[in-house]
Structure 1
Amino acid sequence: MLRPWILLVVTVVAMVVAEVIDPAAQQILLFKQKTEGPIGIMTTSSGAPVEYSDARVTLNKRLIFNEYFMDSLTHLVRERIPERLVHAKAGGAFGYFEVTHDITHICKAKFLSGIGKKTPVAARFSPVVVERGGIDTSRDARGYAVKFYTEEGNFDIVGFSTPMYVYKDPLLFSTFVRAQKRNPATNLIDPNMLWDFLTLIPESLHMFLLIFSDRGIPDGYRHMPGFGIHTYQVENKDGEIHFVRFHFTPEAGVRNLFTEEARKINAVDPDYATRDLYREIGKGNYPAWKVDIQVLSLDDVKNAGFDVFDVTKTLPLNKYPLIPVGRYVLNKNPVNYFAEIEQLAYNPANLVPGISGGPDKVFEARRLAYRDAQYYRLGANFNRIPVNCPINTVVRPYNRDGSQPLNDNQKDIPNYYPNSYNGPVAYKDRNKVELIEIYQDPPNNFDQATELYINELGKEERDRLVANILDSIGPAAKFLKERAVKLFKLIHPDLGYRIESGLASNRTKSYYDYDYY
């Protein structure tokens, strides 16, 4: 049965005119209210004023001489940049991070240097698989990215809504993405592809147990937690190293949608989460998240008994409890979505002194992949796009030229280093610490998947988990179902037998009554 509050939300969204001002639904009306008449004379992109008749009619006139027409038409077909391969659709906003607890004995990063210190942030939340025109209520992991505009440059945490990731070896990235995307022949999402990946790469099942559980569809972004997924190396001013995982917990509470609720919402509002975030910020109901870390010493790492840098695993909270750091608040909507959210570019390599990143191979691969993705989508100077600029520090790179935007292109400063002509110089850190090198065993996280099933999910949650798995795997080929059942039995016999029984009971009908394999 649909929860009463969901019915209320759906009804409000479906209304054409709301009695209460809705910043998301009435943005363009609000713009009209705050401006007195036209804001000025329209121009072409070169700044020439546009005469009224040129802007209203072209019939019986020479088109090529109408610069407004030529400017508009030739720009229109160039208005789309490549969308992100994953995380294509998103909501986002801006705000600030505030330090509430002193951790300078762990990390020397300046934006963490004093209680009460505030740093501007930009956050972006996104389903992983759906395209830009997709739905907000898909059963999927979510990207959870936060950019801190610190005085030492930008620091980006590019995390997820789950505390673990899919695979341990970055070689699997392209396989994972393609298996979830559209079949190259049919152009349809294909359960055979997804379940082939999940059953060939069983470490992925730990994360997908969460995705198929109640936590697989967050109730909007304001109620969605975030996790850095990597175990970061950090250093204090004396060069002493620790290792941390970042946690973001919504102060409004974690809330999720059941499958049927999500389907009903999608029928009337596919942009549910994006709308909710924009509307509530516009109304002054600013969402906030607590920022905590789990902390390990070098001895903790050596004596943990498992690979603490394995992104497919979590760090047990009873062994490494959360330590509060601060909170961040989103209090400003984007003024222009394309300029500020679509062009918002994150990169795990955006680190600051005191935070060295993760020593694991997935982090190393992401340093390359994210940078390359931004070059492809936004060009070589993507960090000069205003939303990506390190606004709290003076930027003096030796990079020059390339595709727009260039801004002043570093004016007349020398363009090579080292030089004898007073160009920028590198700073010296007497306590500089290198990122440690680690050896990583083959992935094995079945014990944590078992722990999740037994101790983190209640009886009704386990019921819904089984139902959601059956919905997904039902159309897949017989041999994939058999392979999946064996793996689920390894996680826990109860889970495996329930999946096996559900598949045998015609609750889910396979589209394939034959098996080529």
Structure 2
Amino acid sequence: MKHNKLTTASGRPYTENEDSKTVGPRGPILLEDYILHEKMAHFNRERIPERVVHAKGSAAFGTFTVTHDITKYTKAKLFSEVGKQTNTLLRFSTVGGEKGSADTERDPRGFALKFYTEDGNWDLVGNNTPVFFIKDPKKFGDFIHTQKRDPQTNMKSPTMMWDYWSLNPESLHQVLILMSDRGTPYGHRHMNGYGSHTFSFMNKNDERFYVKFHFKTAQGIKNFTDEEATAMKGKDPDFSQRDLFENIEQGNYPKWNLKIQVMPEAEAKTYHLNPFDLTKVWPHKDYPLIDVGVLELNRNPDNYFQDVEQAAFAPAHVVDGVGYSPDKMLQGRLLSYPDAHRYRLGANYEQIPVNRCPFAVNNYQRDGAMRIDGNGGSKPNYFPNSFDDIKIDESYKEPAQELESSIADWYDRNAENENDHYTQPGNLFRLMTDEAKANTIHNIVGAMSGINGVKKEEIINRQLCHWFRADVNLGMAIAKGLGINVDMDMMR
């Protein structure tokens, strides 16, 4: 059977459509992998003018207050002393729905936080889950397409979703979380937030630590059941936004406790899990949570479009003492997010008041649409020059980072020792209460019942194999709910 070749838009055939080119299997992505950038840049331009993902959102301003000393891990000024406060903006969102969609849909929730620090704005852009569906950014556009609308029917398609998930078992951990009642949180105030990615801290001695961020809701976890969420979609599609806005207006300010997990840099090389794999968590028994501070939301925006619709968050925006890691998904987002903002809001999106750093900003960027800051006036627009007083402060120089002395190639993200997609989802399911297990199974059966078409049986059987590998009882319960008789000998 003759097949069409996979090519770029310019017609060049290529082979590496799922794995980014990196320095060694766990090293950083190389800028030269233009297929990655072409896929992400085109994906960012698929919709105008709303966000391609996370279109339906709510936000509020607040403060972050340090309650515990973590200066042995980081020199970031916002953590410099107990009691220090930093102004913040936190935006919540659903992922797959359009701007007018219901905000109680079964979907991950975005948890995007902007800290307005004296060393610049720090954007911690995560979700309400500690993991994600994929581990390489080349897959992102393809994955999101399956969560959007079928190109023929223009309707959401369970067949597309489960076909993709069944072909990408690395998604199982996140899919299990999504199919539990955590996939339908009771508004924004009653869910946790996570940086999700592995980031890094640098202290005053230039020692590097890898770090995970956890924001634990002080309001307590509260979720809708699937039936309650479905009913609320029709009753009040803006329930989550209304709940957040009205509670803040009434002075019932929601809070989250920031905790971190810290891994010394040297341990990342020998830890039994890949610490930069976004589909995995770090077990708390190995890296317990460390208290840091309290985030409080205490002011609603005066104008939604001005402060929420125009808000732009990018994980590339870090501050001194906070850095990146070889997390492939994070590395892909470093270029993709600012590119999306420049497309959606313009080249000068960081001059919009909600995105503008409230402290001094000095650089040589000039011109572009909607330049509103005087455009540098008569000052030079090049560096170095003999006329202005802008100098480089060497005290902010980051320490050198040792990279793997490996061959740059397109490494399979699911090669041997990187392909255990079942242990953590299985452990998570076995940790659930009986009620949570029953609800999760009910939700999965309901979602998978929407699979149809000529490949229905193939997709269902493929996905059932993943559930069985995670936990036999989970697989059996789902199969029973779908009316499928399973031969256990064949499943072994």
Question: Which category of TM-score, normalised to the shorter sequence, fits these structures?
Answer: 0.7 to 0.9
Task: Report the counterpart of residue 97 of structure 2 in structure 1.
Answer: 130
Residues 154 and 183 of structure 1: CA distance in aligned 2, closer, same or farther (over 3 Å)? same
State the 1:397 CA deviation.
Answer: 1.5
8 Å Cα contact 1:238-1:431 kept in structure 2? no
Q: Which ranges of structure 2 fall in alignment gaps of 5 or more residues?
A: 1-46, 486-492
Matched, 1:471 2:451: no
Please give the residue correspondences for 1:151-170 in structure 2 after superposition, counting only pairs within 5 Å. 151-170=118-137
Matched, 1:182 2:149: yes
Select the residue among 335, 352, 360 that pairs with 1:394: 360
Matched, 1:453 2:429: yes
Once residues 464 and 280 of structure 1 are traced to their aligned partners in structure 2, the CA distance between those partners, rounded to angstroms, is 29
- 1:76-127 Cα shifts (integer Å, max 9, x gaps): xxxx961001100001000110111111110000111011000000000001
* Partner SS for 2:63: strand
8 Å Cα contact 2:182-2:223 kept in structure 1? yes
- 1:332-351 Cα shifts (integer Å, max 9, x gaps): 00000000000000000001
Task: Report the counterpart of residue 102 of structure 1 in structure 2.
Answer: 69
Once residues 369 and 174 of structure 1 are traced to their aligned partners in structure 2, the CA distance between those partners, rounded to angstroms, is 11
Task: Report the counterpart of residue 466 of structure 2 in structure 1.
Answer: 487
Q: Percent identity?
A: 43
1:229 counterpart letter in structure 2:
S
Matched, 1:379 2:355: no
8 Å Cα contact 1:233-1:359 kept in structure 2? no
* Partner SS for 2:294: strand
Once residues 376 and 326 of structure 2 are traced to their aligned partners in structure 1, the CA distance between those partners, rounded to angstroms, is 34
Once residues 437 and 199 of structure 1 are traced to their aligned partners in structure 2, the CA distance between those partners, rounded to angstroms, is 34
Task: Report the counterpart of residue 20 of structure 2 in structure 1.
Answer: none
Task: Report the counterpart of residue 304 of structure 2 in structure 1.
Answer: 337
* Partner SS for 1:325: strand
Once residues 163 and 352 of structure 1 are traced to their aligned partners in structure 2, the CA distance between those partners, rounded to angstroms, is 22
State the 1:264 CA deviation.
Answer: 1.9
- 1:281-337 Cα shifts (integer Å, max 9, x gaps): 001000010001001112332332110111110111111110011011100000000
Give the number of aligned pairs: 425
Once residues 184 and 450 of structure 2 are traced to their aligned partners in structure 1, the CA distance between those partners, rounded to angstroms, is 21
8 Å Cα contact 2:162-2:459 kept in structure 1? yes
Task: Report the counterpart of residue 407 of structure 1 in structure 2.
Answer: 373
Please give the residue correspondences for 1:239-318 in structure 2 after superposition, counting only pairs within 5 Å. 239-318=206-285
Once residues 436 and 498 of structure 1 are traced to their aligned partners in structure 2, the CA distance between those partners, rounded to angstroms, is 48
Task: Report the counterpart of residue 419 of structure 1 in structure 2.
Answer: 385
Once residues 266 and 171 of structure 1 are traced to their aligned partners in structure 2, the CA distance between those partners, rounded to angstroms, is 33
8 Å Cα contact 1:124-1:146 kept in structure 2? yes
* Partner SS for 1:504: coil
Task: Report the counterpart of residue 366 of structure 1 in structure 2.
Answer: 333
Task: Report the counterpart of residue 315 of structure 2 in structure 1.
Answer: 348
* Partner SS for 1:387: coil
Once residues 450 and 58 of structure 2 are traced to their aligned partners in structure 1, the CA distance between those partners, rounded to angstroms, is 31
8 Å Cα contact 1:100-1:326 kept in structure 2? yes
8 Å Cα contact 2:128-2:193 kept in structure 1? yes
Task: Report the counterpart of residue 31 of structure 2 in structure 1.
Answer: none
Once residues 164 and 242 of structure 2 are traced to their aligned partners in structure 1, the CA distance between those partners, rounded to angstroms, is 33
Task: Report the counterpart of residue 33 of structure 1 in structure 2.
Answer: none
8 Å Cα contact 1:155-1:351 kept in structure 2? yes
* Partner SS for 1:255: coil
Task: Report the counterpart of residue 481 of structure 2 in structure 1.
Answer: 502
Once residues 386 and 93 of structure 1 are traced to their aligned partners in structure 2, the CA distance between those partners, rounded to angstroms, is 15
Once residues 405 and 281 of structure 1 are traced to their aligned partners in structure 2, the CA distance between those partners, rounded to angstroms, is 34
State the 1:499 CA deviation.
Answer: 1.3
* Partner SS for 1:221: coil
Once residues 333 and 53 of structure 2 are traced to their aligned partners in structure 1, the CA distance between those partners, rounded to angstroms, is 13
- 1:400-448 Cα shifts (integer Å, max 9, x gaps): 0101042211222211111122252221138631455468852433111
* Partner SS for 2:482: helix
8 Å Cα contact 1:136-1:271 kept in structure 2? yes
Once residues 190 and 91 of structure 1 are traced to their aligned partners in structure 2, the CA distance between those partners, rounded to angstroms, is 26
Residues 389 and 436 of structure 1: CA distance in aligned 2, closer, same or farther (over 3 Å)? farther
Once residues 151 and 349 of structure 2 are traced to their aligned partners in structure 1, the CA distance between those partners, rounded to angstroms, is 31
Once residues 135 and 230 of structure 2 are traced to their aligned partners in structure 1, the CA distance between those partners, rounded to angstroms, is 32
State the 1:254 CA deviation.
Answer: 1.2
Runs of 4+ with deviation above 3 angstroms: 434-441
Once residues 83 and 397 of structure 2 are traced to their aligned partners in structure 1, the CA distance between those partners, rounded to angstroms, is 27
8 Å Cα contact 1:233-1:435 kept in structure 2? no
Once residues 126 and 470 of structure 2 are traced to their aligned partners in structure 1, the CA distance between those partners, rounded to angstroms, is 26
- 1:265-287 Cα shifts (integer Å, max 9, x gaps): 22211100000000000010000
Once residues 314 and 217 of structure 2 are traced to their aligned partners in structure 1, the CA distance between those partners, rounded to angstroms, is 23
Task: Report the counterpart of residue 4 of structure 1 in structure 2.
Answer: none
Higher Rg of the two aligned structures: 1
2:161 counterpart letter in structure 1:
L
* Partner SS for 1:429: helix
State the 1:200 CA deviation.
Answer: 0.7
Once residues 135 and 265 of structure 1 are traced to their aligned partners in structure 2, the CA distance between those partners, rounded to angstroms, is 9
Matched, 1:221 2:194: no
Task: Report the counterpart of residue 170 of structure 2 in structure 1.
Answer: 203
Residues 155 and 490 of structure 1: CA distance in aligned 2, closer, same or farther (over 3 Å)? same
TM-score normalised over the length of structure 1: 0.80
* Partner SS for 2:161: helix
Matched, 1:432 2:398: yes
2:477 counterpart letter in structure 1:
R
The higher relative CO (CA closer than 8 Å, separation ≥ 6) is in 2
Please give the residue correspondences for 1:61-100 in structure 2 after superposition, counting only pairs within 5 Å. 82-100=49-67
1:288 counterpart letter in structure 2:
K
Please identify, of 374-383 and 496-505, the stretch whose mean Cα deviation from structure 2 is larger.
496-505
1:446 counterpart letter in structure 2:
Y
Task: Report the counterpart of residue 110 of structure 2 in structure 1.
Answer: 143
2:427 counterpart letter in structure 1:
E
8 Å Cα contact 2:422-2:466 kept in structure 1? no
8 Å Cα contact 1:136-1:270 kept in structure 2? yes
8 Å Cα contact 2:276-2:328 kept in structure 1? no
